[in-house]
Amino acid sequence: MRDTMHEKGRLGFRVLNAPPALDLRIVQKFRDFPSSTVADAMGRFGFMDPHIRQRTGKSMCGLAVTVQCRPADNLMVHKALQVAQPGDVVVVRTGGNTTNAVFGELMAHAALASKLGGIVVDGAIRDVERIAEIHFPAFSRSVSPGACDKDGPGEINVPISCGGVVVSPGDIVIGDSDGVVVVPRDDARVVLEMVAQILEREEKRVNEIRAGHVVRGDVDELLRSRGVIE
């Protein structure tokens, strides 16, 4: 069960409660799927731009705790590490700053001790070798040795844009070596059904290849319809 707190603060400088958590059995199912298949299931949408990269070689899957930061400030990232629940993924918007790291080794140790699922920063992180040594999943737009302030303002658990994707509190965030994809919480069950259908088709195609049908038949059909081949 998620902890709640009395919501205080003002617009632009506040900590909001997370929405009720999805059934963890649903989240667990997504752990078995690659980000590419999940993106396909959503009509090839929902994936962050390729500059948001895996930095520590560890994959992740969890519910989003969103953070809106002032550029070059990580006060609310520190608070998010405190309010996030085990398995959650902290997703951070830095207002376009890519030179001041808002997450590093000490924060990673704190996140690991709290059993968080990972972090995504549309901005910079640092100490990536040390973070990799403790096997904490971290994704970011850049890596920089520069530090930042801890003054605020900022917001936690509000909709944000990260890597060109809208992320709302409680969405499912999946990250692997291909990148990061976000499943809107209200669409999770539908996406699971679509993923199952895609995997079934892919398994069928693999069996066809093994049976000697290497080239897809619909390729030549399409080229004929376009007048490219006879």
User: Which residue in this structure is represented by tokens 């085990």?
Assistant: 86
Pair 101, 153 in one domain: yes
**Total domains in the fold of the chain:** 2
pLDDT digits (tens, 9 = 90+) for 163-192: 999 999 999 999 999 999 999 999 999 999
Would you say residue 3 has pLDDT above 60?
A: no
Give the span between the Cα atoms of 121 and 92, in whole angstroms.
5
Beta bridge partners of 173: 62, 182
Pair 79, 43 in one domain: yes
Would you say residue 5 has pLDDT above 60?
A: no
Pair 92, 180 in one domain: yes
Q: Which domain holds residue 207?
A: 193-225
Q: What is the pTM of this model?
A: 0.92
Pair 40, 147 in one domain: yes
Domain of residue 101, CATH code: 3.50.30.40
Beta bridge partners of 175: 60, 180
Would you say residue 4 has pLDDT above 90?
A: no
Asked if the structure places residue 4 within a domain, the reply is no
Beta bridge partners of 179: 176
Pair 42, 156 in one domain: yes
Asked if the structure places residue 201 within a domain, the reply is yes
Asked if the structure places residue 146 within a domain, the reply is yes
What pLDDT was estimated at residue 159? 98
Asked if the structure places residue 2 within a domain, the reply is no
Tokens at 166, concatenated: 């809208």
Pair 110, 221 in one domain: no
